[in-house]
Amino acid sequence: MHCQIHFGRQVMLASPAAAGYRFAMHVPLVMTVIGKDRPGLVETVARLVAEHGGNWLESRMCRLGGEFAGILRVHIAKDNQAALEAALRELGQHGLAVQVQVDRGAAAEPLRRLARLEIVGQDRPGIVQQVSAALALHGVNVEEFSSECTSAPMSGELLFHANITMQIPAACQLADLRREVEKLANDLMVDSNFLALD
């Protein structure tokens, strides 16, 4: 943004890109990105978004094995949407697959509370499926899920560690959900920590 002083009055002159972003009709886009990990992947996507006048709002990105994967949300002027999507598709020629869809927004829902669940225990197949099934049974919506397997310091056995941030519907009783989580943790022989955030 450029600044000009004129007769003691400050006048702000917006750059063409900034002016376009401010006054154009915007479209919210959600993108998924995946490709072989290498330096500069985030910068490549961010540069294309910026060159088309988009605003990068939020993202979750990480390296898994030799792959880089992420999801992000941007606002883009409707007039620039097609050009941005075309530019992102061209990244496929360089081994970076990007899928784009319009964020339609969530329908109006009853008030939901936030909670966090941490699970640690010996790794075994089916932990994620059983935990997610128990949460779905109570209408819980998983907002963020991260997990990893690491070697235990002394025994060297493989430990599964998960952190789940979730939205709990108003109709769900926290005490009932907590008991369900504790019972499941006993069945799976893992430690759990359930914490209501609000």
- Characterize 34-71 residue by residue with b for buried, 16 or more Cβ atoms within 10 angstroms of its Cβ, and e for exposed: bbeeeeebeebbeebbeebbbeeeeeeeeeeeeebbbe
Q: Is 178 exposed, middle or buried (0-12, 13-18, 19+ CB in 10 A)?
A: middle
* Position 18, amino acid: A
Q: Rounded to an integer, what distance in angstroms lies between the CA atom of residue 3 and that of residue 20?
A: 18
Residue 134 has a CB neighbour count (10 Å cut-off) of 17
Residue 197: what pLDDT? 86
- Total number of residues shown for the chain: 198
Six token digits for residue 160: 């599964």
User: Who wins on pLDDT, 109 or 170?
Assistant: 170
Residue 24: what pLDDT? 59
- Nearest in space to 36 (alpha carbons), one of 2, 66, 15: 66
**27-36, 133-142, 145-154: the lowest-pLDDT one:** 145-154
- Nearest in space to 161 (alpha carbons), one of 152, 171, 170, 148: 148
- Nearest in space to 128 (alpha carbons), one of 161, 85, 81, 168: 161
- pLDDT tens, position by position, 80-103: 999 999 999 999 998 999 999 999
Q: Is the pLDDT of residue 193 over 70?
A: yes
Ordered structural domains, the chain, with CATH: 12-102 (3.30.70.260), 112-196 (3.30.70.260)
- pLDDT tens, position by position, 8-28: 333 333 344 444 445 458 899
Q: Are 146 and 160 in contact (CB under 8 A)?
A: no
- Nearest in space to 117 (alpha carbons), one of 88, 90, 141, 95: 141
- Nearest in space to 130 (alpha carbons), one of 55, 121, 171, 82: 121
Residue 7: what pLDDT? 30
* DSSP letters spanning 125-138: TTHHHHHHHHHHHT
